[in-house]
Amino acid sequence: MSTMIRPALSLLLLMTLITGVAYPLAVTGIAQLAFPEQANGSLLRDADGKVRGSALIAQDFVGDAWFHPRPSAGGFATVSSSASNLAPSNPALATRVIEAATQQQVAGQGPVPLALLTTSGSGLDPHLPPEAIAYQLARVAAARNLSQATLQQLLEAHIERPLVGPPVVNVLELNRALERL
C-alpha cells in the first residue's frame, strides 16, 4: 500500500509546487516586466497620487454634470460582476430599460442610444461608443455652463480606436478630463 501512496503524494506535492507556486510566480513576473501598467490594475491616479479608479472598470457617475456609463447589473461592484441574465421576453428587462430611458432622455436629442440602456456582459464595461457620449453632450454642457463645441473637442480627444472593434470612449477617463476643465 505504501508503495502506491508515497509516489502519489510525491506527485501531488510536485504538481502543487509547479502549478500552484512556480507557474503563477513566472506568469506574474513576466506580466510585471512586459505589461506593468495592466498587471497592476490599470489604476488611474489624481495629481496627489490617490487612486481614483481603474481604466478597466466602470464607475457610476450621478448628476447631470457628468457623462454616465452603461447601467450595471451588479451596481458597479466588482464582487457581483455579471450580466443581468434577463431574457428579452422578461418583463423586468423591459421595465428596467424603460426606466433607464426615462432617466437618460435629453429633450430634443431623439431616442436614447441602446448602449446607455443595456448592461454589458460583465456589468463593469468602462467604455461607450462615441455616439452614446455625444448624446449626453447637451445635458453636460448645460449643467457645467460649457459650450457643446468644447465638450465635443474633449470627446474627440478621448476616442480610442482599438486594433479590433469599433471606436470607444472610456467614461472614467473622459470624466476625469472634464473635471480638470
Tens digit of pLDDT for each residue in 101-157? 888 887 778 888 888 888 777 767 888 999 999 999 989 999 999 999 999 999 999
Q: How many C-beta atoms surround the C-beta of residue 149 within 10 A?
A: 10
Percent of the chain, pLDDT > 90? 38
- Spell out the SS3 assignment of the chain: CHHHHHHHHHHHHHHHHHHHHHHHHHHHHHHHHHCHHHHCCCEEECCCCCEEEECCCCCCCCCCCCCCCCCCCCCCCCCCCCCCCCCCCCHHHHHHHHHHHHHHCCCCCCCCCHHHCCCCCCCCCCEECHHHHHHHHHHHHHHHCCCHHHHHHHHHHCEECCCCCCCEEEHHHHHHHHHHC
- Mean pLDDT value of segment 51-70: 83
Q: Do residues 69 and 58 touch, judged by C-beta distance below 8 A?
A: yes
Percent of the chain, pLDDT > 70? 93
Q: Do residues 154 and 114 touch, judged by C-beta distance below 8 A?
A: no
**pLDDT level of residue 1 (50, 70, 90 thresholds):** low
Work out the widest C-alpha separation in the chain, in whole angstroms: 82
- Mean pLDDT value of segment 41-53: 81
Tell me what pLDDT residue 131 has: 94
